[in-house]
Amino acid sequence: MSQIKIDSDIPLEANYNNGRPEKYPWRKMEIGESFFVLPDMMTPKRASTHAWEASLRTGRKFACRRQEGGVRIWRIS
């Protein structure tokens, strides 16, 4: 039987979305930056839900506002 070496102090690598690329740039945004989403991509209500879920995953806060032609989402903290 072979011996298995046990290691310590090796950080766990982040695995966001099970290896799938993120559709929206939640983790790339700095405070004050925003992105615009067309209504065929995401309804205003769904945008708010996505922003809230992203805040739980990332620890950041986002705000959504309807604008002509879609929804704009800002990172606020």
- CB-CB contact of 16 with 22 (8 Å): yes
What does the pLDDT read at residue 16? Answer: 60
Query: What is the amino acid identity at position 65?
Result: R
- Condensed to tens digits (0 to 9), the pLDDT of residues 31-66 reads 999 999 998 888 889 999 999 999 998 999 999 999
Supply φ then ψ for residue 60, to 5 degrees: -105, 165
